[in-house]
Amino acid sequence: MSRQSLATRRIRSLAALRAEIAAWSVDTNTRQRGVESQMKIAEARCKLKSAYSKIII
């Protein structure tokens, strides 16, 4: 958060800081971000055997 909105400014009161944090969090949470997988399912199962050990293929 400090890099995105507060880095170049000085907030003079606690109430103003809380208002800035609330506005930042609402804005950040309303924007959806996608996730791209970097590996295929078979590769993930091979690399993460302990996590997939209970799944029957």
In tens, the pLDDT along 4-57 reads: 666 777 888 999 989 988 998 898 888 877 777 788 888 877 887 777 666 555
Question: Is 34 among the domain residues?
Answer: yes
- Give percent helix, percent strand, percent coil of the chain, each to the nearest 5: 60, 0, 40
Question: Is 10 among the domain residues?
Answer: yes
The total domain count for the chain is: 1
Torsion over CA: 10, 15, 17, 20 (sign): negative
Question: Is 38 among the domain residues?
Answer: yes
pLDDT of residue 57: 54
CA 46/CA 34 separation, integer angstroms: 24
Helices (H), 1-57: 14-30, 41-47, 49-52
Q: Domain limits at 11? A: 2-52
Question: Is 31 among the domain residues?
Answer: yes
pLDDT of residue 50: 74
Question: Is 57 among the domain residues?
Answer: no
